[in-house]
Structure 1
Amino acid sequence: MAELKEEIEYSLPQPKSNWFTPTYEVYFQGKNLFYTILLAGYAFLVLYPILLLFINSFREGELGQDVGWGLTNWIEAFSHPSLLSALTNTLSITFTVQAISITISVVIAWIIARTDLPGRGWIEFSFWIVFFMPTLPLVQSWILLFDPYVGVVNQFFASIPFLSWIQFNIFSWEGIVWVHLVTGTIAVKVILLTPAFRNMDSSLEEASRVNGANMFTTFTKVIIPVLLPSILIVLILGIIRSLEAFEIEMILGGPEKIDVFSTQIYRMINDANPQHGAATALASVILTIMVPLIVLQQWITRRGGHATISGKFKTQKFQLGKFRWLVFSIMLIIVLIMTVIPLLSLLVGTFMSMYGFFNIDNAFTLANWNLILTRDTFLQALKNTLFLATLMAIISMLLYSITAYIIVRTKYVGRNLLDFIVWVPYTIPGIIISLGMLWLFLGTKVFQPLYGTIGILLVALIFTGITTGIQIIKSNLLQLGNELEEASSLSGASWWYTYRRIVLPNIAPAMIAVGIFCFSIATKSTASIVLLTTNDTMPLSILQLMYMLDGSYEASSVVGVIIMVLTIGVALIVRALGVNMTPK
């Protein structure tokens, strides 16, 4: 009977194989269909706005005025009188900030991870605090300290006869570099480098010292070469972030006309006669400049041969000896400069009748708080911020966790492409994200009704936080065994049931951390939404930016303190959860 069945099946016409059948199965059958829809959604969200920028850079005419194609926008952008100075400022600030910060960060990371420094756990956490602190409030705090006319520090030196020549103008190229260093550039590098130093085998250092090398020689000849790949990756990421800088240059560079690429784009769009086309062409130039950096970072990341943990892994703290408390004092001063001093400065500014003037009658008042807390614009901005941040936290926890699960746990053929797509936003400057979304929602008729709503801000913020959020959950998934998931699958459970009942409970702390992280992003982000907000959708971060650009420092300091409370509270919650949020 079985033989007869085989003969009948053999005699029937066999379906012809073609390329479409396997393609359909791996992309559009069963759960793969859901994966493909998600991949297409990410590709549209991430790649389409970028594509629009390049396409529209050749479209002549402003938004809604399609008059043809040509090179007018590029000619206008490259002939702009401020372009050369913006390019020079961008490169010089980036090079200086990164050269200084990588040198300091490497030393600090080594001290925290490899020595017996007292309180190193709390010092490391202090750099996380700096990471979460919003940029604009910190910029304002340094203005109160180093304003050339009323800055507290400058006034102090002016009161001392033989030190009256000392003055530091925060509204300068040097001021921009200083604020970059103390508002996160060093902190982020320390956060990323410390795990690499902590995971290095201490036997390498011991072998160097046994052969008679001093600590400096060991550090420069052994430790740095071993960790050079990790250091280069952090440096390249730092260069990418420096090229994206916006808030600091916008506030501190304004009085002295110190523009960089991002602020030049902003000014072009917000000019009395907006130059959307030229701004789009300039944005395309920045993206082109970043491509080699992205390729280099990916190449270094995927290279092998620099592992520092072996089967005989050994870790031993270097004894600082008599320098132990001296080093601790230096580290404490650095932490105080980055956290306590600007926080106190910002808080004091909220109670000043005239920002920076301590010697006038009735110098301090509660009027600033009373005025701001009762303004309709503030109350609306606070409502927008809390709604936007809460919504983003909830959506990101679900969306990012599902994406990370597909990349790490499934055999979906498009998972590597998905992993690449969700990494791309980390390399896109915030102002370009904002401009790309502007073209998407205003230049595409089907999306035009969404402009002026919270939804467009939510999309831009999800774009902004997607890379770090997914990397956090990925790192946690990679640390978990998949035995329970395999058992669930063998028992006949669907992938969705397995995800809900097995995966989610195990990665819950990481998901909560991602939600908190995204809440922080939505609270403090400026560049990625600055071109998308309206009076009705303006959050606190943009409200503070507007106050600062108008010179209303008393009002902006109050808004800054409220933003600071929200974001630092996030860092404290993450600390309580004990979740490692360092991207892998």
Structure 2
Amino acid sequence: MTLAPPPTASDEKSLTGPAPADATRPGLLARLVRRPFSAQTILVGVAVVIVGYLALVPLGYLFHDTFLSSDGSGVSFGAFSRAYGGNSQSGSMLLNSMWFAVGSALLSLVVGTVLAYVQVRTDTPFKGLFFAASIVPLIVPGILYATSWIFLGDPSSGILNSLVFEPLFGTSPVNIYSLWGMIWVQGLHHAPVAFLLMVAAFRAMDPSLEESAAMSGATRGAVLRRITIPLLRPAMISAALLMFVQSLESFEVPGLLGLQNGIYVFTSRIYFVLRAYPVDYGSAGAYAIGLLVIAAVGVLLSHWLQRSSRNFQTVTGKAFRPRPVELGRARPFVGAGVLLYFLFTVLLPVAVLVYASLLKFYAAPSRKALSTMTLDNYRQVLHMPLAFTALKNSLLLGIGAATIVMILCAVVSWVILRTKARGRGLLDLLAFTPIVIPGLVLGLAISFVYLRVPLPIYGTLFILLIAYCTRYLPYGMRYSSAAMSQMSPELEESAAVSGASWFQTFRRVLLPLMSSGILAGWVYILVVSFRELSSTILLYSPGKEVLSVLIWEQFENGQFTTLAALGVCMILILVLLVSLAYRFGARFGLQSDSSN
């Protein structure tokens, strides 16, 4: 499940065709925008205000409260001196953050690129496993993925040490609570994202240059080194920067693995400062701004590289079909590598969660441990009132955030792509601004807002809904903008000429035609809302927990087997929701096709 990039101006022109002869006159859609007090004007105006509010107000309060002196007299840098000066060990924290983000990004990129090449360009066996290996880690929340690797790589009771290394070598070399363990878990969890991005790049690249080089006598290694990789370099750099930013803002892996061994990164340091007494909001804001600056630089650099990647395009109007590379004698070994990757990314993490959920107390697999298996943990989850409360809260927030974001983004995309309204470029920028805000930073910024604004929503589900809508607004924009840019505005103009109002045109023409893109965005936001922990952990209150927070609380209380049972139930719920949503979408699409 990949995110479609926002359409560029040239893409929009190519999709809508040449401009009419009277392009100097305002178009029909542009004239409609000027009608005051119409339903369309009010709806668009409300959408613009909401986007501006969600994107700017939290950041404004974050900067205001961080730079404001303790006595409120003026601007002060005291929070930065407390956060980064003295004995704060900010240097080691910064190095840990960079090593963690760079190492995870490189691991994800290498694994994802190799697998994408094997899947697209070779005759490798077991190609059906690539789909499961790319989808399952995306559904499994980061907190559960990190927990599963605790069961696998714990120095004393981990399965890998107890059953593999100790019997063979007499030592326990695997320590998941190290910086390298953090990089391993984060890199494997993000490798499917890199795989999906690089598969798209390989499929879009004309292989004629590689085939010409091979016919000229170049070896397979030389073709890969001198032709394939240079052509893929922009996509690889962009994917690496995306993985870098996602790792930099990750909280689950550093929180579960790093804090056990005193390894701090930006996100875990912010969480630690906010859990200390007395709470130093200024220092937390200073750390948040430092993390925000690094993430923003990474996102802007990625966006710039994506624009410059047009110099490396090889896709033309001529159809092509790459001929698979015959692996020959290496085919069994490549197939074994695919099975090994599937084992480490999908089978082992999910299987160890199921295994742990059947134990009273976690222990490495043995005859004694297998004899004590029971379903008591699942019974405990079913009789846990907080579990049903968390499930209800997760459903309400996921469905609510997905619905609000996709409706809002559909309206905003119409303004950006269909009108000539002044400031639509600024509106586009505002809609994508939250993508540079890490989840924990967003949670802190929103808490700054509603701790000071006299609105009684702090500690309620509504503040979590605001956080989710803000966090996933850019992703909704990617889906809705991509869907709308594929439709010609002539359809809307025809409806308007036939007497339909803007609202009727939007509801009966645009939304049905955009249904596939809107549904894909809706499903994606629903899934990631269920997984979300980083922004939620700072905003929830007792009784308003969601499933991810409940799993975090079970980890802090040492209830690992109950956590595993809860995690298995959460994964099953996510799989069921995704399956139902896509089945409903397929049925809806068939009905709409038949009605046309």
TM-score, normalised by the number of residues in structure 1:
0.88
Aligned with 2:312: secondary structure?
coil
Please point out which of 87, 107, 110 is paired with 2:114.
Answer: 107
Please point out which of 220, 227, 241 is paired with 2:225.
Answer: 220
Give the whole-Å Cα distance in 2 for the aligned partners of 1:27 and 1:157. 72
**1:67 shift after superposition:** 6.9
- Cα distance change of structure 1 residues 357 and 25 upon mapping to structure 2, 3 Å threshold: closer
Matched, 1:72 2:82: no
Give the whole-Å Cα distance in 1 for the aligned partners of 2:338 and 2:520. 27
Matched, 1:207 2:216: no
Matched, 1:193 2:202: no
Matched, 1:419 2:424: no
Contact 1:115 1:318 (8 Å CA) reproduced: yes
| AA at the equivalent of 1:528 | S
- Cα distance change of structure 1 residues 358 and 131 upon mapping to structure 2, 3 Å threshold: closer
Within a 5 Å distance, the mapping from 1:193-272 to structure 2 comes to 193-272=198-277
Equivalent residue for 2:24? none
Contact 1:269 1:279 (8 Å CA) reproduced: yes
Give the whole-Å Cα distance in 2 for the aligned partners of 1:353 and 1:524. 26
**1:572 shift after superposition:** 4.0
- Amino-acid identity (%): 26
**1:553 shift after superposition:** 0.8
**1:331 shift after superposition:** 1.7
Please point out which of 461, 484, 498 is paired with 1:454.
Answer: 461
Equivalent residue for 1:337? 344
**1:407 shift after superposition:** 2.7
| Deviation larger for 480-489 or 568-577 | 568-577
| AA at the equivalent of 1:452 | G
**1:455 shift after superposition:** 0.6
| AA at the equivalent of 2:175 | N
Contact 2:108 2:243 (8 Å CA) reproduced: no
**1:381 shift after superposition:** 1.5
**1:533 shift after superposition:** 0.2
**1:557 shift after superposition:** 1.2
Equivalent residue for 2:15? none
**1:545 shift after superposition:** 0.7
Give the whole-Å Cα distance in 1 for the aligned partners of 2:336 and 2:212. 30
Matched, 1:394 2:403: yes
Give the whole-Å Cα distance in 1 for the aligned partners of 2:72 and 2:480. 44
- Cα distance change of structure 1 residues 118 and 505 upon mapping to structure 2, 3 Å threshold: farther
- Cα distance change of structure 1 residues 70 and 159 upon mapping to structure 2, 3 Å threshold: closer
Please point out which of 168, 177, 183 is paired with 1:171.
Answer: 177
Equivalent residue for 2:476? 469
| AA at the equivalent of 1:315 | R
Q: Deviations over 1:88-126 (max 9, x none)?
A: 110111121222221222221222223333453551353
Aligned with 2:362: secondary structure?
coil
Matched, 1:141 2:139: no
**1:40 shift after superposition:** 2.7
Give the whole-Å Cα distance in 1 for the aligned partners of 2:507 and 2:102. 47
Give the whole-Å Cα distance in 1 for the aligned partners of 2:64 and 2:32. 31
**1:42 shift after superposition:** 0.9
Contact 1:179 1:248 (8 Å CA) reproduced: yes
Give the whole-Å Cα distance in 2 for the aligned partners of 1:339 and 1:60. 50
Give the whole-Å Cα distance in 1 for the aligned partners of 2:69 and 2:565. 43
Please point out which of 105, 127, 130 is paired with 2:134.
Answer: 127
Equivalent residue for 1:97? 104
Please point out which of 474, 487, 491 is paired with 2:494.
Answer: 487
Contact 2:413 2:481 (8 Å CA) reproduced: yes
- Cα distance change of structure 1 residues 200 and 575 upon mapping to structure 2, 3 Å threshold: farther
- Cα distance change of structure 1 residues 302 and 27 upon mapping to structure 2, 3 Å threshold: farther
Aligned with 2:339: secondary structure?
helix
Contact 2:249 2:439 (8 Å CA) reproduced: yes
RMSD value, Cα: 2.6
Equivalent residue for 1:19? none
Matched, 1:292 2:301: no
Within a 5 Å distance, the mapping from 1:535-550 to structure 2 comes to 535-550=542-557
| AA at the equivalent of 1:221 | R
Within a 5 Å distance, the mapping from 1:529-568 to structure 2 comes to 529-568=536-575
Aligned with 1:255: secondary structure?
helix
Equivalent residue for 1:520? 527
| AA at the equivalent of 1:164 | G
Give the whole-Å Cα distance in 1 for the aligned partners of 2:579 and 2:133. 10
Aligned with 2:67: secondary structure?
coil
Give the whole-Å Cα distance in 2 for the aligned partners of 1:167 and 1:484. 64
Give the whole-Å Cα distance in 1 for the aligned partners of 2:482 and 2:391. 34
- Cα distance change of structure 1 residues 53 and 24 upon mapping to structure 2, 3 Å threshold: farther
| AA at the equivalent of 1:178 | W
Contact 1:524 1:563 (8 Å CA) reproduced: no
Aligned with 1:212: secondary structure?
coil
Contact 1:389 1:520 (8 Å CA) reproduced: yes
Q: Deviations over 1:406-444 (max 9, x none)?
A: 333333333322222222222211100100110111122
Aligned with 2:261: secondary structure?
coil
- Cα distance change of structure 1 residues 313 and 578 upon mapping to structure 2, 3 Å threshold: farther
Matched, 1:117 2:121: no
| AA at the equivalent of 2:55 | V
Equivalent residue for 1:9? none
Q: Deviations over 1:504-536 (max 9, x none)?
A: 111222222222222212211000111000012
Contact 1:193 1:230 (8 Å CA) reproduced: yes
Aligned with 2:276: secondary structure?
coil
Contact 2:406 2:480 (8 Å CA) reproduced: no
| AA at the equivalent of 1:305 | N
Aligned with 1:253: secondary structure?
helix
Give the whole-Å Cα distance in 2 for the aligned partners of 1:212 and 1:578. 48
Within a 5 Å distance, the mapping from 1:28-39 to structure 2 comes to 31=40, 34-39=43-48
Please point out which of 365, 370, 381 is paired with 1:372.
Answer: 381
**1:315 shift after superposition:** 2.1
Give the whole-Å Cα distance in 1 for the aligned partners of 2:311 and 2:580. 37
Equivalent residue for 2:52? 43
Q: Deviations over 1:112-164 (max 9, x none)?
A: 2233334535513530222222111111111111111111121113552x511
Contact 1:189 1:234 (8 Å CA) reproduced: yes
Aligned with 1:305: secondary structure?
helix
Equivalent residue for 1:8? none
| Deviation larger for 219-228 or 191-200 | 219-228
Contact 1:201 1:309 (8 Å CA) reproduced: yes
Matched, 1:509 2:516: yes
Give the whole-Å Cα distance in 2 for the aligned partners of 1:278 and 1:452. 22
Contact 1:26 1:413 (8 Å CA) reproduced: no
**How many residues align structurally?**
551
> Which runs of no fewer than 5 residues in structure 1 stay unpaired?
1-21, 580-584
Larger Rg: 1
| AA at the equivalent of 1:308 | T
Give the whole-Å Cα distance in 1 for the aligned partners of 2:132 and 2:351. 19
| AA at the equivalent of 1:536 | G
Q: Deviations over 1:160-201 (max 9, x none)?
A: 2x5112430111112111111222x21111111211110111
Contact 2:254 2:264 (8 Å CA) reproduced: yes
| AA at the equivalent of 1:550 | N
